[in-house]
Structure 1
Amino acid sequence: MRAAYLNLALSMALVGLSVPASKVIVSHIPPLVAAEMRFALVAVLLAPFALRGGTAALPRNGRDWTSLALLSLFGMVLFNLFLLYGLRETSAVAAGIITSTIPAMTALGAALILRERIGAGSAAAIALAVVGMVALNLRPGGGGGPDDSVVGNALVLGAVVSEGLYGVFARQLGGRIPPLALTCLANVLAAAMMAPGALATLGGFDPSAVPGWVWLLFVASGLTGGLLAVVLWMRGIAHVPANRAGLFTGLIPAAGVLAAVLFLGEAFTLAHAAGLLCVLFGIAMGTGALRLPKRFTPG
């Protein structure tokens, strides 16, 4: 179980690091074009390894194909579409606060679709993680700012809903399809779904005008956030209930803030430290890695 938790944690940390990278990328490349190229890149690189098992690596029945298609639609196409366009319209602070609701959305989706029970302990851990992520992303004077917009915030909220559904459908497929094959197939389907939109927004885009370092960032972000993170998530969620796995999405905004501190030189305040501790404490409680002594437990 510890290996599964480690896979989930690393996966969400990589996704968190890809968010500030995406904000830079979409300032040079149209969002749908960037998403399409990312899906295609991951699918091509994985194909030789993922499908060497032949038909044994494919979904077994229509239900699995449906879950795979929904996973691709919500967790990859819509998540990227909402997030990339949302980052163009609102601040990273507002986006971080909104993404703090991903664990609650994942747990809610698991309860509604998978009929997973949300116990009191898990509910408390989710609440603590959400509080921590909100604190982590708040700045002096509040989260609102001149760069925020209702449209941008609504788009990021759409990404939150999509990510919550992604966790649910990934749980349905966990263990039924090899992780590499699942990641490859999901990217193939996502590329097919995104292609019409990417072609529609391709007009006027000049790849030669994009700085070389942006292309390097694009490739690195695609390989880590789009490939390695998905493989790690699929391996982990095959052994962990979706509502508990959702707690690890708290590392998305946590990693984003740490990246801003380390690479962009932003200040790390006491509010950030408190928020990060709440996130990690909530994850530890939800996974059972940390329990109160019995003498402190009511009853």
Structure 2
Amino acid sequence: MCPQRSTSSAAAFKTGSAARHGSLRPPGGVVVGARAGPATDPTRTSRPERPSAALPRCSERRPLRWRAVCNLHQPLSDWPLHRSAERGNMKRSSIGPYLDLTLAMALVGSSVVAGKIITREFPVFLASGLRFGLAMPVLVLILLAKEKRLPVLVWRDYRVLFLQALTGVFLFSLFLLYGLRYTTSSESSIITSTTPGVTALLAALILGERLNRWKWAGVGLCVAGIAALQLGSGGEGGAEGTRGSDHLLGTVLILGAVVCESLFTILGKIMTAKLSPLAVSTVVVAFGFVLFLPQAAYEARSFSFSQASMAGWLSIVHYALAVTVLGFILWYRGVSKVSAATAAVFTGVLPVSALILSYFLLHEELRAAHGLGILLIFGGILCAARER
């Protein structure tokens, strides 16, 4: 190879490389490609600044880790890696809400046994006033200890929470007690067994929840199971011979109790999206105490508290602390993480818990229909827990 030609080729390569990198110095001393401005030194060769738009953008074809590093301007919750970990944590803890709902309804079922003891010794409204009057300060103390302050509410929040206490606490008890006076217990059992179905329908209408076939199957099995449990009890009690307008009134009142219980779940779902389950429980119990207070004070005037037995007082304490305080907190915590229709299916645990506790504590009879009802209810829970 000719040395002269080799030297010229090397010079051409350096010239092209320098031109590509913007560092070729023409005779005038101005750097080609450099930005003009007061900070530019004409005697210094520098690489031009690359505009921010020329930075490599993250592509879907690039590795997941690189995309997460490139998207530093996005919040952590938007990173794909974080979302993947979040989905994994949800799968690992998905059984938690179902356990909360199951335990909450099991505690509420124990109120049936406690209620039978309470109603033998206390008037209904006085017992309810004592229940909420004892539960309210306990919840306030727990709320202040855990959250350090009372919840900050606007006028709309007060209205929703008051409506929740009015329907799910006060009117539910009122409709159920007076409805049983004008209709048979068998008919009341059939009507109350529709609670999961009514809740699912109201959730679709009010909350816009979409019910898939598994949830519909869960609701149907739960309704059938509750009906089997109630009818298996033989339909004792109630106004067996009542017909006509009084019978229709009793049916309407029991149906009103079902709607109130459904609204209690749906309104709880709405409020737990903004407040903690503990805060919702505290405010609802406080409103419940205010609603029961006038009639409870009236019944207390003629009631002899010294005649109540130790079993009666312990039942009041259990009703207040276990059923109201712990049961409300668990229920709202579970409702906040699942759909209202799914939570409604777990109301079927209530009669199962009441039946089992009545058998062991009150020595009541178990029948074959009860076993069938229990199987149907737990089959419905398994279907409803299958979200997809």
| Normalised-by-shorter TM-score class | 0.7 to 0.9
Residue 143 of structure 1 and its aligned partner are, at CA, apart by 3.4
Residue of structure 2 aligned with 1:253, choices 326, 346, 351:
351
Q: Which residue of 1 aligns with 2:284?
A: 186
Q: Distance in 1 between matches of 2:114 and 2:136?
A: 20
1:208 aligns with 2:300: no
Q: Which residue of 2 aligns with 1:79?
A: 172
Q: Which residue of 1 aligns with 2:207?
A: 114
User: What does residue range 73-222 of structure 1 map to in structure 2 within 5 Å?
Assistant: 73-84=166-177, 96-139=189-232, 143=235, 148=240, 150=247, 155-222=253-320
1:240 aligns with 2:338: yes
CA 1:82/1:24 → structure 2, altered by over 3 Å: closer, same or farther?
farther
CA 1:217/1:72 → structure 2, altered by over 3 Å: closer, same or farther?
same
CA 1:267/1:183 → structure 2, altered by over 3 Å: closer, same or farther?
same
After superposition, the C-alpha distances for 1:35-80 in whole angstroms (9 at most, x for unaligned) are: 111111111112122135355x414433322221111111122223
Residue 153 of structure 1 and its aligned partner are, at CA, apart by 5.9
Q: Counterpart of 1:117 in structure 2: which amino acid?
A: R
Unpaired runs of at least 5, structure 2: 1-93
Residue 97 of structure 1 and its aligned partner are, at CA, apart by 4.0
Q: Which residue of 2 aligns with 1:283?
A: 381
* 8 Å contact from structure 1 (residues 59, 176) kept in 2: no
Q: Counterpart of 2:294 in structure 1: which amino acid?
A: P
Residue of structure 2 aligned with 1:228, choices 303, 312, 326:
326
* 8 Å contact from structure 2 (residues 185, 237) kept in 1: no
Q: TM-score, normalised by structure 2?
A: 0.68
After superposition, the C-alpha distances for 1:19-44 in whole angstroms (9 at most, x for unaligned) are: 23213312321111111111111111
SS at match of 1:239: coil
CA 1:160/1:136 → structure 2, altered by over 3 Å: closer, same or farther?
same
* 8 Å contact from structure 1 (residues 99, 253) kept in 2: no
SS at match of 1:117: coil
CA 1:218/1:154 → structure 2, altered by over 3 Å: closer, same or farther?
farther
Q: Distance in 1 between matches of 2:368 and 2:288?
A: 40
Q: Distance in 2 between matches of 1:50 and 1:90?
A: 41
Q: Distance in 1 between matches of 2:312 and 2:237?
A: 27
Q: TM-score, normalised by structure 1?
A: 0.86
Q: Distance in 1 between matches of 2:287 and 2:354?
A: 28
Q: Counterpart of 1:269 in structure 2: which amino acid?
A: R
Pairs aligned (count): 288
Unpaired runs of at least 5, structure 1: 292-299
Q: Which residue of 1 aligns with 2:160?
A: 67
Q: Which has the larger radius of gyration?
A: 2
Q: Counterpart of 1:50 in structure 2: which amino acid?
A: L
* 8 Å contact from structure 2 (residues 185, 235) kept in 1: no
More helix by share: 1
Residue of structure 2 aligned with 1:50, choices 111, 119, 143:
143
Q: Counterpart of 2:199 in structure 1: which amino acid?
A: T
Q: Distance in 2 between matches of 1:98 and 1:254?
A: 17
Q: Which residue of 2 aligns with 1:36?
A: 129
Q: Distance in 1 between matches of 2:166 and 2:96?
A: 28
Q: Counterpart of 1:194 in structure 2: which amino acid?
A: F
* 8 Å contact from structure 2 (residues 97, 334) kept in 1: yes
CA 1:143/1:38 → structure 2, altered by over 3 Å: closer, same or farther?
same
Q: Which residue of 2 aligns with 1:25?
A: 118
Bigger Cα displacement from structure 2, 33-42 vs 265-274: 265-274
Q: Which residue of 1 aligns with 2:46?
A: none
Q: Distance in 2 between matches of 1:187 and 1:194?
A: 11
Bigger Cα displacement from structure 2, 154-163 vs 120-129: 154-163
Q: Counterpart of 2:204 in structure 1: which amino acid?
A: A
Q: RMSD in angstroms over aligned alpha carbons?
A: 2.5
